[in-house]
């Protein structure tokens, strides 16, 4: 049972080895047609995206095997490489909360504020009764806040309900509470309700990850290591300044984040929306992570804040066998722990991308993966793949014809 050099193992070996990490030895779980048909309207086929693992990432001194679903060839290799370099990542996430809003019109701002002042306790206890199951689990409604917005045509009032959804993502639970509360607010204020719906923006609720990397881990040649650390820090500095670069920098982070979200059945659209709004919260789109180089201590320091409203129960998670398998592989973490691991994968992914683009560029790493997929395409058997990849990489501008020719040559020699 080893995850060492996982990429060199055959698919059969990998599956046998990974099974040691799964307590309820599920037969490799697939989404059956009948279940898929219940999940969506107008079901036809199940679209396959490859699932692999990041063999080890250390978060708060605990090692995780992380499932990742992605069609982008370099993502898992880069995340694994990044995680290996970074070592332990410190992650903090105190309480996962979400926010919803009830938006209404036909009131003055003074009336809307006064209504909250007079009714807040009553409204909160009403919502706690509606969400009694969540309250029993230690979560549920926490607070109600108010803001107003005006345009040329309308004055809008928004009551925000802060909510702890415990292990769930909470969209259904919160929307139910909001719709019930909206009717009550309408009766109590005489205002007109425009909508009651969860918001995917909650800028005060995020995971914080941090890592300190002794510079010698970057290269055994210390000069080269210093130089690389300086360039990574500069790349990070630049990404704080230019939204063109910040967008791509964050895309690299989301390569890792989304892959784990999909594997664990989480709503990656909600997280994407939340993350990019968070990246713009200061009025300009910025990079989520920052890297600093402390040349005196010879340490590269990485930090990132990222909102991750993820779940470990409910929604897709409870009905998708692969999502359940994924959570089991990660040791059935609680939602907070899962968010901490996902944030750490994002940071490792970002580190690997920066390291590559400020040094050799990413094409070199991609070339190996392209050569590998070409070798597989032309029918190389598992013991032929590595030698064929080596030959292809030594040849400029390889293509499938060349791969076929080289494979024939190898077999005949």
Q: Are 311 and 168 in contact (CB under 8 A)?
A: yes
Q: Is 84 a catalytic residue?
A: no
**Size of the residue set binding ligand MEV (CB under 6 A):** 10
Of 34-42, 174-182, 245-253, 334-342: span binding ligand MEV (CB under 6 A): 245-253
User: Is 33 part of the annotated catalytic residue set?
Assistant: no
List the one residue out of 79, 90, 163 whose CA is nearest residue 127.
163
Closest CA to 55 of 102, 4, 128, 15: 4
Tell me which stretch binds ligand MEV (CB under 6 A): 40-48, 122-130, 248-256, 388-396.
248-256
At 29, is the secondary structure helix, strand, or coil?
coil
Spatial neighbors of 339 by CB under 8 A, at least 6 apart, are: 93, 96, 207, 308, 309, 310
Contact between 353 and ligand MEV per CB under 6 A: yes
Task: Please identify which residue in 357, 367, 369, 402 interacts with ligand MEV, judged by CB under 6 A.
Answer: 357
Q: Is 249 in the site for ligand MEV (CB under 6 A)?
A: yes
Choosing from 101, 255, 312, 326, the residue that interacts with ligand MEV (CB under 6 A) is 255
Q: Which of 267, 320, 337, 355 is catalytic?
A: 267
Determine which one of 184, 231, 366, 393 is catalytic: 366
Among 52, 252, 302, 314, binds ligand MEV (CB under 6 A): 252
Q: Please, which residues bridge with residue 54 across strands?
A: 66
Whose Cβ is closer to ligand MEV: residue 251's or residue 364's? 251
Instruction: Give, as one character, the DSSP assignment of residue 191.
Output: -
Phi, psi (rounded to 5 degrees) for 101: -140, 150
CA 135 to each of CA 72, 228, 404: distance values in angstroms, whole numbers, following the listed order:
41, 50, 63
- The verdict on whether 231 is a catalytic residue reads no
CB neighbour burial string for 90-110, b if at least 16 within 10 angstroms, e if fewer: ebebeebbbbbbbbbebbeee
**Is 164 tagged catalytic?**
no
Task: Considering the complex, state which of residue 166 and residue 253 has its C-beta at the smaller distance from ligand MEV.
Answer: 253
Query: Contact letters (x/-) for ligand MEV, 63-82, by CB under 6 A?
Result: ---------x----------
Q: Per CB under 6 A, which of residues 362..381 are in contact with ligand MEV?
A: 362
The least CB distance from residue 246 to ligand MEV, in Å, is 10
- Plot region of 103 (φ>0 → left; ψ -120 to 50 → alpha; else → beta): beta
Q: Does 248 bind ligand MEV (CB under 6 A)?
A: yes
Catalytic residues: 72, 251, 267, 366
Instruction: Report the interface residues with ligand MEV, using CB under 6 A.
Output: 72, 248-249, 251-252, 255, 353-354, 357, 362
């Amino acid at each position: 049972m080893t995850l060492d050099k996982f990429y060199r193992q055959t698919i059969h070996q990998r599956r046998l080895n990974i099974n040691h990490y799964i307590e309820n030895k599920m037969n490799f779980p697939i989404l059956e047609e009948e279940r898929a048909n219940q999940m969506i309207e107008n079901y036809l086929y199940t679209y396959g995206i490859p699932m692999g693992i990041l063999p080890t990432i250390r978060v708060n001194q605990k090692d995780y095997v992380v499932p990742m679903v992605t069609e982008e060839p370099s993502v898992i290799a880069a995340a694994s490489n990044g995680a290996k370099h970074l070592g332990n990542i410190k992650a903090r996430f105190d309480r996962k909360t979400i926010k919803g809003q009830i938006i209404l019109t036909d009131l003055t701002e003074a009336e809307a504020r006064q209504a909250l002042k007079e009714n807040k306790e009553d409204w909160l206890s009403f919502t706690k009764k509606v969400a009694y199951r969540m309250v029993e689990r230690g979560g549920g409604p926490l607070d109600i806040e108010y803001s107003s917005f005006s345009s040329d045509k309308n004055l809008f009032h928004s009551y925000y309900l802060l909510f702890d959804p415990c292990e769930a993502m909470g969209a259904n639970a919160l929307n139910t509470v909001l719709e019930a509360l909206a009717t009550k607010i309408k009766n109590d204020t005489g205002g007109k309700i425009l909508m009651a719906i969860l918001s995917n923006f909650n800028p005060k609720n995020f995971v914080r990850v941090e890592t300190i990397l002794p510079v010698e881990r970057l290269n055994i040649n210390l000069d080269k290591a210093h130089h690389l650390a300086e360039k990574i820090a500069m790349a990070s500095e630049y990404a704080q300044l230019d939204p063109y670069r910040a967008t791509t920098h964050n895309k690299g982070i989301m390569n890792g984040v989304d892959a784990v979200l999909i594997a664990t059945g989480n709503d990656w659209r909600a997280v994407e929306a939340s993350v990019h709004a968070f990246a713009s919260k200061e009025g300009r789109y910025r990079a989520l992570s920052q890297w600093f180089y402390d040349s005196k201590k010879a340490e590269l320091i990485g930090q990132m804040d990222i909102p991750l409203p993820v779940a470990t129960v409910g929604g897709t998670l409870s009905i998708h066998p692969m999502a359940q398998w994924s959570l089991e592989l990660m040791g059935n973490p609680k939602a907070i722990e899962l968010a901490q691991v996902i944030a750490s994968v994002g940071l490792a992914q970002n580190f690997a991308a920066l390291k590559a683009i400020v040094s050799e560029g990413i094409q070199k790493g991609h070339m190996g993966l392209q050569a590998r997929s070409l070798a597989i395409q032309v029918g190389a058997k598992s013991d032929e793949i590595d030698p064929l990849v080596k030959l292809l990489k030594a040849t400029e501008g390889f293509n499938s014809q060349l791969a076929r020719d080289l494979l024939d040559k190898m077999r005949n020699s």
